[in-house]
Amino acid sequence: MECKKGGVQMPENLLLFLLDEDLRTLARPLRLMGFDTSTFASESASLQSKLDQARDEFRTLVTPDRKTAEAAILAGSPRVILLESKPNENTDSLLSRFLEANPDALRIARNENFFFCRCVNCNTRTLPISKDLASDRVPQDVLSKSERFSICPRCEKVTWDGIYEEQQRRRFRALFQAISDRF
């Protein structure tokens, strides 16, 4: 399946990420940008299970742990990002460093047509639905203000264009500009 926003299609397996539990705060903004982003099934996952999950799902392992990154490289994983987190670092700072370390992700993220194509809760691709189908699932004031609606086929969460979406777009634009200004 492909995500279609504004006539642009994002291939299903363009970039797949698997975040270590210490970086799970990145999952939401990466999903908002349209990236297929998973976290480990268990916080107590063994190193081997992390490596197996990354390999089996063809994901880039993103970890703040040097030992995990080294073990992944030694195990032959071609895709590992070492992103050491800093104490009390906010999500935008961490996201900025992640995008700076991953130029392909930054290039893709700048294409806003991919934004809001994934459920932030379960990472499933969302599907567009008509206003009529959304009418019994959203507040009445939303129906009068919004024209575009999407649903997650897995958890059935309904989303719509609105203030939150525009706030996140502005947030990401500012982040991209700050990254550009540094280079």
CA distance 157 to 175: 27
Pairing verdict, β 127-129 and 149-151? antiparallel
Which contiguous run of DSSP H or E holds residue 5? strand 3-5
Domain extent listing, the chain:
15-116
Per-residue model confidence (pLDDT) at position 77: 83
* Angle at the Cα of 11 from the Cα atoms of 123 and 39, rounded to 5 degrees: 25
CATH topology of domain 15-116: Rossmann fold (3.40.50)
Q: What average pLDDT does this structure show over 130-153?
A: 94
Read out DSSP for 39-80?
E-S-TT--HHHHHHHHHHTT-EEEES-HHHHHHHHHTT-S-E
Is 0.85 topped by the overall pTM?
yes
- Position 7 confidence tier, pLDDT thresholds 50, 70, 90: very low
Condensed to tens digits (0 to 9), the pLDDT of residues 97-128 reads: 999 988 889 988 898 888 999 999 999 999 99
Q: Average pLDDT, stretch 67-74?
A: 92
Task: DSSP letter for 125, please.
Answer: B
